[in-house]
Every structure is written in C-alpha cells, then in structure tokens.
Amino acid sequence: MKKLHLLMSLTFIIGLMIMSSCNDENQKTIVKARKIALEDFFKNPEKTSYQISPDGNYFSYMAPYEKRMNIFIKKRGQDSVVQLTKETDRNIAGYFWPNDEQILYLKDNGGDENYKIYLVNINGGEPKCLTDFNGVRSGIIDDLPEIPDEVIIAMNKRNPQVFDPYRLNLKDGSLEMLAENPGNIQGWLFDHNGKLRVATAITDGVNTSVLYRETEKDPWKTILTTNFKESFSPSFFTFDNKNLIGSSNIGRDKSAIVRFNLSEGKEDSVLYKNSDYDVNSVSYSQKRKVITSASYTSWKRERYFFDKETENIYKFLEDTLKGYEVVIAGENKNEDIFIVRTYSDKSLGAYYIYDKKNNTIEKITDVSPWLDENEMANQLPIEYKSRDGLTIHGYLTLPKGYTIETAKNLPVVVNPHGGPWARDSWGFNPELQFLANRGFAVLQMNFRGSTGYGRKFWEISFKKWGREMQDDVTDGTKWLINKGIANPNKIAIYGGSYGGYATLMGLVKEPDLYAAGVDYCGVSNLFTFMKTIPPYWKPMLEMMYEMVGNPVKDSVMLRQVSPVFHVDKIKAPLFIAQGANDPRVNKDESDQMVKAMRKRGLDVEYMVKKNEGHGFRNEENRFDFYRGMEAFLEKHLIKTDW
C-alpha cells in the first residue's frame, strides 16, 4: 500500500556497536551459551529483498553470487530460477520493478555513493547502465506506476551540488530534464498523473519553502516558508491531485499527518497525531485511492489505520504469524498478491506470499536459516534520566539467560548511534546478537537530538556535539553501573559515523570510564569535517552551522569538542576502521586521529579498506572488521587482569 520511493539519504549512516569482558563469577554463566561462528552473524543473507512484479506473475529477490548480492527472479508456481545480474565488485544497493518486463537497480563504485541506475530485462541479456556519468549520483524520485515505460530520476550531472529531475524513458534510455534546479531545491514531488508540480527548497540555508505550480507550464510560486525547525514534508498528492498529504510539525512539537491545502498555502486538517511521538510515515492504496495507514516508532513500530480493509489484512497476518512483527514489503498492481516480511529482535524472519483472494499464506524462505532464534538475546526497552532531567529512551541487550534483575557485573558495550539526527529502534541487529553471544551486554540510547521524540527534543541538541549530547551517553553508562549491571572496569564504547565521533569524545571526556574504544568512520575534527562534506550537502551548510557550529563564529567551541585536539586526555586503547572512499566522513578524519595518537605514543590500531565508503558493505571486509574488533577487545579487556 505504499508507493515505492528509493530516496537519496543526506544523513550519516547509523552507527554499530561493540565490546568488553567479564569477571570470573559471570564468566562461568556466560560460557554456557554455545559460541556461534562470527561469520554466521555477518555473512550475506541467503535470500532477501523480495518483490513481486506488477502483474503478480513473478517474484524477485537478492541473493549472494560470488559474495555479492545480485538479483534473481522466479515465476510463481515454477521451480526454475533465473539470475538476472552478476555483479562481482559491489553489492546492488536497491532495485524495483518499473513494469512487468524490466527491473531497475542501483549500484555505486567502491562505496563512493555515486549511484548509477541500471536496467535489466527479465527475459535475459546484459544489464545496461542508463546513467553512466563519472562523479554523478543518481536516484529514483518516482516510479510512475501508471506509466510503465517511464520513471522520474534525479541526478547532480549539471551541478554536483544540486539534483535536477529527469524523465527516463525505459524503451530507448533517453533522458529529459524536467526542471533546472536553481540551487536550493532539495525535493521534487509529482502528482498521480506523473506531472511535476511541487518542490521543497532551502531558501537561504536555514529557511525552507514549499513551491507549487498548477500545471507544468505555469511558473513556480512559493506558498509556504518556515524556519527549518518547522516544516511541512509532502508525501503525495490527494487522489484528485488538488492538495497534499504529508507530515508537519508547524505549530506543534510532534509531527503529525496532515492535509495541506495548496490554494490556501496551509494545512486544513490533521489526519492523525500522537501525543508522544512524531508521525512521519503515511501510506496509501494506489488501486483503491484511499489512505491506508500512518506509522510511528515508540519502542517498536506502531500503526494507525485509516482504512478497515488494510487493518483487517494486518490483523489476519499478525494472527497467522504470531510472535513476529509483520511488514507488507510489496504488492502487485491489483493489490491481491502481497509479499510479507516478518522479523523480531531475535530473528531476521522470513518472507511469505499472501493471496488475499484465497486468504492463504505461503512461506517462501527464511532470511538467515543458519541462525536459531532460540539462541538469540532479547533487545529490551529501557529509559533513564539525564543529569538535567530529560528522559532518555534506549535498549539493553543482555547475554542469553540474563534478565535486568539477574544481570550483575557484566562487561558492557556502550553504543551511541550515528546520524546524529536519527535513532536506534527495535529489531534484529547482528552486532547486538554477536556481542551478546560473546557474553557482553550492549547499551543503546536515543540521546537528545534523536528523531521521533518531537521538535524540542531535537532542537536541544543543536551545538551540543561533545557536550550535553555526550553527557547523555555518559549518564546511560553510569546508570548501568549504578544498577549493578555493568562491571565498571569492563566498559567499552563503540559507534559508527556520529557514533564514532561520540566514541572518540567519550574517551576524551571520560578517560577513566571506558576501558577501550572502537571508532568506525567517525568524525575527529569538526573544522576539516565541514570542509570535506559531499558537494550536495553544501546548500545546507548554513543549517549545519546552526545545528553543529560555525567554524568561524564558534571556533573556540568546535575546537573544544574536536577529539583530535585532545588526544592527550585519552588513556584507553583505540581501534579505528575507515573506508578509503568515504564521501561523508573523509578518510582524513581517521588519518588525523591515528597520527595524533601515535605522535603521543598512545595505543591505536587502524584498519582501512580501499574498496569501501561510509561503512563496510563487502562481506569479506565485514568479516575482517569484526575479527579485528574481537581480537582487539580480547587483547585489551578479556585478558586484562583488573
């Protein structure tokens, strides 16, 4: 029930996690769990990313071929499988069916995030690259389900800093630019007839506007301008193509699903709001022309239903597939054949085909059948108070067999997420399960600035990198110590991207709290970080200055919270991992930190992968990273005599 969009993310990749050891008493309990091979947690899924063709005759999926995720298809009711792609250098990043005969997919080169769009016919033949331009990033804006031979894409081909919309003809591969981005447009929206009529813009670096035109021949006019702290984010046109449905926090703390009146330039009704959480996601039925549901995240994903038929479908699926969270991952054009995905905190789940006409569910496959969910750990929701009285929500994963009441004096991995304007959520995470299997507890926290908790909670993180945001991480660590769960001498901190930055600042700011740290592509110097951001982040630079800090006006503060200038305070050993082609956090961020550490004779290990970007995607590199992490922790924690 939701139109497919492969959106281009301009945020950091969310962090990971790691760490520690245990005392003699708890060691006896922990070793009772069967030690599962590291590779079982981090190898590619057996089959995943199932989709169904618009006519419902085929389903497709991704599976490993020479250690890279490729696309396969299978006709319903038949056993034979056809492999459509044979990519061997890099995983396919995503794909979808634009029509019944073709599949489009995206792939970058070595992690540079300059995605190219490829087309492959299901009856065979070599894939064809449709956006084969050096240094250009492509993405899908709209799949145009009513126009089978066209899709709308975005490219920064004309100007690396901005994305222009193009109509891509799938018959001949021709491209037609639909509008020239003047430099401030961050999003384009098409109506249900495939006409470009709405755009969202950053007008002066900090203010955002909604632009509208009645037809594609009319000039654009601004109908709404707000500071970026308040905004209306359009999701789709109403079915008469006259107004918009989207998410708004204008005049309220929590984002709500609203109808926006284009002629008046304001919202005219609230469709659904939640008093505790932002509601940003809304779905609809393309065939029946009804809004179906809205979703938000408390400690789990939750749904509000506008449509009784959709509610009944989910109720049937949840009653049939008890014990698992259920997601409708795709449907055919008639919306009577659905791809259903299950998952939990202890399982990557399985895929099913749901036939609505016959009311039957058929299991297709388990995603990772080699992992037994009975051997996995629970990801428990927790909350604690920050030193200034905020309620911080998070998750605690304990080794199998422990509860919050029985867990005492355990080794702990403190794992701040990336973003930082993102959040941790409940679900299967191989890192959590790997560390829990090795006897570690893992603490995740949605520190101030984490999304989903409203505008105020987000805004109070501005210019608080390394300050109150870091204190929230520290307060969570001390909360675990005070509860007796954490062994105060056996705590490590680990994260990726902003989580890597928080790892470095944790070692700087609390040198006696953490026994080791693992930084995965983290920022170390906020001055150089601002200078090396991707070109398409440049229009948002003034916004970043307001949220993080201005290198000129706030130079004293930024130096205080840049870890590379304070390595003299670090006592704990450090392991750093970095992709050489990272476009978000330049490799120089890690190089600087390693150089500064070694100059002072401090213990630092450094892993660089030449064919990776912001996070390791290739299976063999993931194995190397986690082997290195495990050895590092064993060397500095498990074998350390406290």
Mind listing the pLDDT tens digit for each residue in 21-48?
333 333 334 345 799 999 999 999 999 9
CA dist 83 and 382 (Å) reads: 44
In a domain, 167, yes or no: no
As a whole number of Å, the CA-based R_g of the chain is 25
CA dist 463 and 117 (Å) reads: 37
**How confident is residue 538, by pLDDT bands cut at 50, 70 and 90?**
confident
Q: Which two tokens stand for residue 501?
A: 């930055």
Per-residue pLDDT, 9: 33
What is the Cα 205 distance to its own chain's centre?
Answer: 24
* Residue 236, beta-bridge partner list: 245
326-369 tens-digit pLDDT: 999 999 999 999 999 999 999 999 999 999 999 999 999 999 99
Nearest residue to 4 via CA among 70, 97, 91:
97
Mean pLDDT of 484-512: 97
DSSP codes, 314-355: HHHHHHHTTTSEEEEEEE-TTS-EEEEEEEBTTB--EEEEEE
**How confident is residue 70, by pLDDT bands cut at 50, 70 and 90?**
very high
Catalytic residue numbers, as ranges: 497, 582, 614
Per-residue pLDDT, 4: 34
CA dist 194 and 196 (Å) reads: 7
Q: Does position 635 have pLDDT exceeding 90, yes or no?
A: no
Q: Does position 127 have pLDDT exceeding 60, yes or no?
A: yes
Q: Does position 212 have pLDDT exceeding 90, yes or no?
A: yes
What is the Cα 634 distance to its own chain's centre?
Answer: 30
Per-residue pLDDT, 3: 38
Per-residue pLDDT, 539: 87
Q: Does position 1 have pLDDT exceeding 50, yes or no?
A: no
In a domain, 67, yes or no: no
* Residue 237, beta-bridge partner list: 244
Residues of the chain above pLDDT 70, percent: 94
Per-residue pLDDT, 31: 42
Q: What is the CATH number of the domain that holds 489?
A: 3.40.50.1820
Higher pLDDT, residue 8 or 228: 228
In a domain, 209, yes or no: no
Q: Which residues of 365-403 are buried (b: 16+ CB within 10 A; e: fewer)?
A: ebbbeebebeebbbbeebebebeeebebbbbbbbbbebe
The range of the structural domain enclosing residue 600 comes to 373-638
Per-residue pLDDT, 6: 33
In a domain, 474, yes or no: yes
Quote the number of domains for the chain. Answer: 1
Per-residue pLDDT, 637: 76
Per-residue pLDDT, 640: 58
Per-residue pLDDT, 430: 97
> What is the number of residues in the chain?
642
In a domain, 334, yes or no: no
In a domain, 88, yes or no: no
* Degrees to nearest 5, angle at CA 427 with 422 and 429: 85
In a domain, 196, yes or no: no
In a domain, 286, yes or no: no
278-294 tens-digit pLDDT: 999 999 999 999 999 99
Per-residue pLDDT, 13: 27
